[in-house]
Amino acid sequence: MKNSLIVVFILNALLLGSCKKYLTEEAEDRFTASTLFETPEGLEKMVIALYPYERSLVSKGTANGILSAFIWNERTTDLCVFTTGDDANLSRFTSPGPTSNIRGLVYSPYWTHRYYIIGRTNEIIHYGRQFGDQAKETVAEASFWRAYCYYGLWSRFSRLFLSTEPVTRENMNGLSYTPADSASVFKQMYEDAQRAIDGLPLTRNANEEGRVTKAAARHQLALIAAWAKDWTTVAAQVEQIDAEKTVQLEATPELVFNRSDLHATSETLFALRFSKERGGGSGHRIGSQYINIISELDYTSKLVNGALVKYNPDNLGRQWGLVFPNSYLMSRYGSGDKRLTAYYKKDYTYQNPNRLITVPVAQLRTDASTGKQYYSTTNQTGAPLTVKVGDVLHGRDVAAATGTKIDRRNLLPSSIKMYDAWNKPLDADGATSSFKDVMIYRLAESYLLAAEAYYHLGDPDKALAFYNKTYTRAGHAPETNPLTFQMIMDEHARELAFEGRRWDFLKRNGIWYDQVRKYAGDFTKFPAASVGYNAATYGVSDGRDADFAPNPDYYADFNGSDNDILVRFNVKPFHVNWPIPQDQVDAMGAQNFPQTEGY
The number of beta carbons lying within 10 Å of the beta carbon of residue 132 is: 10
Answer for the pair 157, 578: CB distance below 8 angstroms, yes or no.
yes
CA proximity to 147, closest of 228, 208, 207:
228
Of positions 549, 583, 594, 596, contacts another protein by CB under 8 A:
583
Of positions 345, 525, 544, 568, contacts another protein by CB under 8 A:
525
Mask: binding to another protein, 53-72, rule CB under 8 A, as x and -? x-x-----------------
The H or E element spanning position 344 is strand 344-345
In the bound state with another protein, the residue whose beta carbon lies nearer, of 475 and 594, is 594
Asked if 303 touches another protein (CB under 8 A), the answer is no
Asked if 599 touches another protein (CB under 8 A), the answer is yes
The least distance separating another protein from the CB of residue 325, rounded to whole angstroms, comes to: 19
The least distance separating another protein from the CB of residue 558, rounded to whole angstroms, comes to: 11
Asked if 589 touches another protein (CB under 8 A), the answer is yes
Answer for the pair 577, 159: CB distance below 8 angstroms, yes or no.
yes
In the bound state with another protein, the residue whose beta carbon lies nearer, of 54 and 242, is 54
Helix (H, G, I), strand (E, B) or coil at 365: strand
Residue ranges in 347-376 that form contacts with another protein under rule CB under 8 A: none
Three-state SS letters, 387-413: CCCCCECCHHHHHHHHCCCEEHHHHCC
Asked if 557 touches another protein (CB under 8 A), the answer is no
Asked if 291 touches another protein (CB under 8 A), the answer is no
Of positions 3, 24, 380, 541, contacts another protein by CB under 8 A:
24
Q: How far is Cα 186 from Cα 264, in angstroms, rounded to an integer?
A: 31
The least distance separating another protein from the CB of residue 288, rounded to whole angstroms, comes to: 13
Residue ranges in 215-274 that form contacts with another protein under rule CB under 8 A: 264, 273
The least distance separating another protein from the CB of residue 95, rounded to whole angstroms, comes to: 4
CA proximity to 339, closest of 256, 244, 425:
256
Of positions 14, 183, 245, 279, contacts another protein by CB under 8 A:
279
Q: Which stretch binds another protein (CB under 8 A): 70-78, 132-140, 368-376, 577-585?
A: 577-585
Of positions 3, 380, 404, 481, contacts another protein by CB under 8 A:
404
Asked if 534 touches another protein (CB under 8 A), the answer is no
In the bound state with another protein, the residue whose beta carbon lies nearer, of 24 and 541, is 24
Asked if 29 touches another protein (CB under 8 A), the answer is yes
C-alpha distances out from residue 14 to 21, 25, 26, 533, Å: 12, 20, 22, 87
Q: How far is Cα 219 from Cα 77, in angstroms, rounded to an integer?
A: 22
Answer for the pair 40, 138: CB distance below 8 angstroms, yes or no.
yes
Q: How far is Cα 233 from Cα 220, in angstroms, rounded to an integer?
A: 11
Q: How far is Cα 413 from Cα 323, in angstroms, rounded to an integer?
A: 10
Answer for the pair 350, 302: CB distance below 8 angstroms, yes or no.
no
In the bound state with another protein, the residue whose beta carbon lies nearer, of 308 and 389, is 308
In the bound state with another protein, the residue whose beta carbon lies nearer, of 173 and 480, is 173
Answer for the pair 238, 449: CB distance below 8 angstroms, yes or no.
yes
Of positions 369, 559, 594, 596, contacts another protein by CB under 8 A:
559
Q: Which stretch binds another protein (CB under 8 A): 169-177, 227-235, 324-332, 383-391?
A: 169-177
Q: How far is Cα 284 from Cα 58, in angstroms, rounded to an integer?
A: 6
Q: How far is Cα 431 from Cα 433, in angstroms, rounded to an integer?
A: 5
- The backbone region for 598, taken as left when phi is positive above 0, alpha when psi lies in -120 to 50, beta otherwise, is left
Q: How far is Cα 515 from Cα 77, in angstroms, rounded to an integer?
A: 7
The least distance separating another protein from the CB of residue 103, rounded to whole angstroms, comes to: 10
CA proximity to 292, closest of 398, 194, 410, 391:
410
Q: Which stretch binds another protein (CB under 8 A): 167-175, 248-256, 472-480, 484-492?
A: 167-175
Q: Which stretch binds another protein (CB under 8 A): 217-225, 359-367, 421-429, 486-494?
A: 421-429
Strands 385-386 and 358-359, how do they pair? antiparallel
Answer for the pair 419, 381: CB distance below 8 angstroms, yes or no.
no
In the bound state with another protein, the residue whose beta carbon lies nearer, of 209 and 547, is 209
The number of beta carbons lying within 10 Å of the beta carbon of residue 261 is: 16
Of positions 14, 23, 383, 536, contacts another protein by CB under 8 A:
23
In the bound state with another protein, the residue whose beta carbon lies nearer, of 367 and 479, is 367
Mask: binding to another protein, 190-209, rule CB under 8 A, as x and -? ---------------xxxxx
Q: Where are the strands (E) in 231-282, listed by range? A: 268-272
C-alpha distances out from residue 484 to 288, 447, 456, 488, Å: 35, 16, 10, 7
In the bound state with another protein, the residue whose beta carbon lies nearer, of 28 and 133, is 28
The least distance separating another protein from the CB of residue 232, rounded to whole angstroms, comes to: 32
Asked if 115 touches another protein (CB under 8 A), the answer is yes
Of positions 530, 534, 540, 547, contacts another protein by CB under 8 A:
530
Asked if 417 touches another protein (CB under 8 A), the answer is no
- Partners of residue 527 on adjacent β-strands: none
The least distance separating another protein from the CB of residue 314, rounded to whole angstroms, comes to: 17
Mask: binding to another protein, 72-111, rule CB under 8 A, as x and -? -----------xxxx--x----xxxxxxxx------x--x
Q: How far is Cα 189 from Cα 148, in angstroms, rounded to an integer?
A: 8
Of positions 201, 430, 460, 475, contacts another protein by CB under 8 A:
430
The H or E element spanning position 570 is helix 563-570
Asked if 19 touches another protein (CB under 8 A), the answer is yes
Residue ranges in 125-164 that form contacts with another protein under rule CB under 8 A: 161, 163
Asked if 582 touches another protein (CB under 8 A), the answer is yes
The least distance separating another protein from the CB of residue 365, rounded to whole angstroms, comes to: 15
Three-state SS letters, 7-26: HHHHHHHHHHHCHHHHCCCC
Q: Which stretch binds another protein (CB under 8 A): 20-28, 218-226, 241-249, 443-451?
A: 20-28
235-258 exposure pattern, b = at least 16 Cβ within 10 A, e = fewer? bbbbbebbeeebbebbeebeebbe
Q: Which stretch binds another protein (CB under 8 A): 378-386, 422-430, 450-458, 504-512?
A: 422-430
